[in-house]
Structure 1
């Protein structure tokens, strides 16, 4: 099978705020080539979505001429760094991994909270939980891709190396990093071959304590062209890149972002 074109852009379906089915249809009309869907909503709940529902959702994405790039899983009850609900978070993450595997989705994207600022005993419990879910992901042929605005990618790389499980890799969200005062290009360089998923969004510079505001692509601190050029050096990174935004999500804005990214890509 030939390698897919890297000059392509995917989208988070939930950003369209139209429901999953309508969002998939809108994304397909705009011309996106891949989709990410949240697996922690009432509409897509791993505990409620049966076998036929899983097949139907996968068909919806692929009938829109898109690949199913990833699921995201970031509900508060699924936060692996919240020690008070760690067992529930592990169970929920396992359910989302199994959902991804059942639908042939290669990656589950998951944000981490401030792991590096909690006490050592609790941190070891969280790391053990990450070991558990990453081994579970490996068992089902799925990758758990973690990202965080706390600690930077150096810390994530150290964590991934410590666990040494093929089922655990890194996702990069430049808007998340910029908003915390972290250089996304340096962070990307630190990930090496452990980068499994890449988003694109922009933000103003902030700190971990006071996040910078998300802004439209090209209007913040992210050098979009340089970021895309750096991504092109990661030959093992699955295409496409995923457009992400928590702010500007009118279909016209999303279509503008897609074209902006395609025009900025040199690969």
Structure 2
């Protein structure tokens, strides 16, 4: 059931910002190295009023194989100095790679390494008390598994997740009539749904209804929208029913936030600025729309 206005006083889930697809203007060639780009992104996040980040485990320089123990400690220290929490990791490699013989081993290896990386970073970041224990437990690895995933792979990912106490957020979604994958995936509680409103809207679904249905079991939720030309940032203008503002998106952010809150989701909601040309405006709109 989608909540009514009686739930207006419930606290909203906190916001995080995904590093995936975040394109900030760089003033010089020297700022293009991964470490400098991350520092700029963390400053941008704090200045925008967001308290946590979702790192991209597929980004060169921040892939598990790029980060030895010392580099992981340095990354965690940078998050602490920036006064930012860690909401999780993104690993959006093509889902079909988990099913294709030529790519399957590499995809599974990358996912297993990302699980271990998230466990390490979570432990290091939380060591200073910058995130409380209950918040830290909500950090998840976001990925997208194919519609039909080999049970052996599911069991392998689940075993690694359980060992590291890291949840996997599977952002695969398809209309119920065509989705044959839900039953085998949800047999492991540690592999839980991830909610991406833009992906659901583009597939002809209703993200508000999905939020109401899945909120208590979600491992991760995104904050993003679509327009007639593709992904876009959310806007407070969408909180007005039947908005006809030029360029407005399709997600009712107020209803989405209220539904997640009222239906029991307590994890971070990750602002997703993929394909957003003006990240400063996009982040400002997302933060304003969330609290409107």
The offset of 1:84, in angstroms, is 3.6
1:107 is aligned to 140
| 1:197–1:237 contact (8 Å) kept in structure 2 | no
| Aligned partner (choices 271, 282, 288) of residue 254 of structure 1 | 282
Q: Give 1:56-205 correspondences, 5 Å limit.
A: 56-76=74-94, 79-104=97-122, 106-113=139-146, 115-116=147-148, 123=149, 125=150, 127-151=151-175, 157-161=182-186, 163=187, 165-204=188-227
| 1:7–1:262 contact (8 Å) kept in structure 2 | no
1:263 is aligned to 291
Could you list the runs of 5+ residues in structure 1 that have no partner in the other structure? 117-122, 206-211
2:39 is aligned to 21
| Aligned partner (choices 256, 263, 266) of residue 237 of structure 1 | 266
| Number of residue pairs the alignment of both structures matches | 242
For residues 234 and 140 of structure 1, what CA distance do their matches in structure 2 show?
A: 28
| 1:35–1:69 contact (8 Å) kept in structure 2 | yes
TM-score (norm 2): 0.74
Bigger Rg, structure 1 or 2: 2
Could you list the runs of 5+ residues in structure 2 that have no partner in the other structure? 1-10, 25-36, 123-135, 239-247
**Residues 127-184 of structure 1: CA deviation (Å, up to 9, x unaligned):** 32022112211110111111124345976653443x2x23211110101110111111
For residues 161 and 226 of structure 2, what CA distance do their matches in structure 1 show?
A: 31
Q: Which of structure 1's runs of 4+ aligned residues deviate more than 6 A?
A: none
1:76–1:60 CA distance, 2 compared to 1 (3 A) = same
Cα RMSD of the aligned pairs, angstroms, is 2.5
For residues 216 and 291 of structure 2, what CA distance do their matches in structure 1 show?
A: 26
